[in-house]
Amino acid sequence: MDKQCKINAFRAGLTQFVTFEEDEWEILSQHLSFLTLKKKDHFIVEGKVCDYIAFIVHGSARHYHVKDGQEITGYFYFENELVSAYKSFLKRVPSTNFIQALEKTELVLIAYTDLQKMLNHPILALKMERFGRLVAEHYICCYEDRVTAFITQSPEERYTMLEKTAKDIFQRVPQHFIANFLGITPVSLSRIRKRTLILKD
C-alpha cells in the first residue's frame, strides 16, 4: 500500500472522532510518519516510553501484560483502530504492557512531539483538543465494557459478543490468545466453539 493510500485511510478513519478541513489536513499531514511491523514485531514493550499513537491501516495487534512469566492478553486491535500505550504516551512514563503485531501491520504514526506542536498550532489546536478528548472517551468506554463483561457475563457470553464484534478474529488470531483474552483455557474455548456451532446448525 503506497503512502497516499495510507494517508487517505487514516483521514477516513479519523472521521469517527473529528473531521478536518483541507487547510487543517494539509498541516496535520506534515506531522505523520509510517511504520510497517512484521508478524510478532512489537510496537511497544514493557519498560520503554511509548513515543507514538498509531492508526492501523492494515493488520492487527494484541495488547498484553506479563505476570509471573505468563502473558495476559487484554485487547486486540484491527484495521481503522488507534493503538498506543496511552498512559505511557501521555504521561511520558515507562509502559507497563506490550503491544505486538499478530500479522504484517501497516501503521500511520503521530509522534508525541508532533502532537504537542499540533496542540499549540493556531489552526489545529481546537480540533486536536477535541480529537484527544473523543479518543479518551472512546477507550474509557471500551475499558468499562471489558471490565463489565468479566463481572456480568459467562465465558460463553463473552465469546458470543467477541464473535459478533470481530467476526474474522478466529481466522486472524491464534486460538490460545483468544482463550487468554476471554479468561479461559484453549480447551474450554474449543468446547464453547463446538457448542455454538451445534446450536447454529
Task: Render pLDDT for 180-194 as a digit per residue (tens, 0 to 9).
Answer: 999 899 999 988 888
pLDDT value, residue 201: 52
Confidence band of 139 (pLDDT split at 50, 70, 90)? confident
pLDDT value, residue 54: 96
pLDDT higher than threshold 90 for residue 197: no
Nearest to 27 by CA among 99, 113, 169, 124: 124
Average pLDDT of the residues of the chain: 91
Neighbours of 38 (CB within 10 A): 10
- If DSSP codes are grouped into helix, strand and coil, which group holds residue 11? helix
Residue range 159-175: mean pLDDT, rounded: 85
Distance linking the first and last C-alpha atoms of the chain: 39
Q: What is the dihedral of CA 142, 168, 56, 189, to 10 degrees?
A: 50
Q: What is the pTM of this model?
A: 0.89
Residues 6+ away with beta carbon under 8 Å from 3: 34
pLDDT value, residue 199: 59
pLDDT digits 0-9 by tens, 50-107: 999 999 999 999 999 999 989 999 999 999 999 999 999 999 999 999 999 999 999 9
- Tell how far CA 49 is from the center of its chain: 17
